Amino acid sequence: MIQPFSEILYTSVIAHDQPSTVVARILATARAANAKHGITGLMIFDGMRFFEHLEGEPAAVATLMTNIAHDPRHEGLRVIYEGGLDQRRYRAFLAGYAEPDELESEAAADDLLRLHGAAAVARFLAMQARFDIQI
């Protein structure tokens, strides 16, 4: 059975020449583009690293990932999980954003970086409850 949605969880690091304020510009652009292309998801930025979980129609997600991979505002992109999805996890988000407090974010991010596949997605989803998610 073909699943109607695709999901990707990736991580990257803000480019060394970018100020942390670039995140607001990234989100403004992403929210508009994601709404147009039916992409939903959540981005976590810990001041240095991005973690983003995206979902949507497979072709739209693939196109978005190509664009993300070529964005000079970040580097070291690594896909942690990619797979099919029967239904969306983020019905209310266009591009959610959460910035965890500095004490917990480093440990949580390090834990997430050690995981791959479905275990990484499960950990990412469990982390959401601790964040003040802003949309």
- pLDDT band of residue 103 (cuts 50, 70, 90) is very low
- The answer to whether the beta carbons of residues 44 and 80 sit under 8 Å apart is no
Q: Is residue 3 scored above 60 in pLDDT?
A: yes
Q: What is the mean pLDDT of residues 47-59?
A: 90
pLDDT > 90: percent of the chain: 41
Query: 60-80 pLDDT, tens per residue?
Result: 999 999 999 999 999 999 999
Query: 14-37 pLDDT, tens per residue?
Result: 999 998 789 888 888 888 888 889
Q: Which position has the higher pLDDT, 132 or 17?
A: 17
HSE toward the beta carbon, residue 77, CA cutoff 13 A? 16
Rounded CA-CA distance 74/66 in Å is 13
**pTM metric for this prediction:** 0.85
Rounded CA-CA distance 39/27 in Å is 13
Q: Is residue 98 scored above 70 in pLDDT?
A: no
- The full DSSP string for 5-62 is EEEEEEEEEE-TT--TTHHHHHHHHHHHHHHHHT-EEEEEE-SSEEEEEEEE-HHHHH
Q: Is residue 13 scored above 80 in pLDDT?
A: yes
Question: For the chain, which domains are there?
Answer: 19-99+116-130 (3.30.70.100)
